[in-house]
Amino acid sequence: MFELVKIEFENGFVGLCPMPGKYSAFDEDFLQLVNALPTVVVTCATKSEMINCSAASLPEKLHTVGIKWFQIAVDDFQIPDALREKEWNSMMPILKRTVLSGGV
């Protein structure tokens, strides 16, 4: 079952959810994700995990509806290596600015 948990801030939120398609139909999960009105989605999964979840089209579908997408390719239940940590640190200013500005 797809469930998005929101952590609310003054001007925005951070949502946590499983990969769309991991536990239920991708299209249904994608619709729930989009209905949460995110400005940015960060996927912490490898390309192979996305393919296994039928979520390979996630980046293109998000782009189609105007949602920015970033990926940190980390294996399921693993911690990021030094390269992934560097990628994460480089996107943090964008993510922080997005949350603090209410999603703009």
Query: At 10, is the secondary structure helix, strand, or coil?
Result: coil
- For the chain, what are the domain ranges? 5-97
β partners of residue 40: 68
Tokens of 23: 């536990």
Divide the 104 residues of the chain into consecutive groups of 10 and give the mean pLDDT of each group. 88 91 96 94 95 97 97 90 94 90 73
The span from the CA of 94 to the CA of 89, in Å, is 10
pLDDT of residue 19: 95
d(CA 9, CA 63): 25
Whole-model pTM over 0.75: yes
Domain 5-97 has CATH 2.40.50.140: no
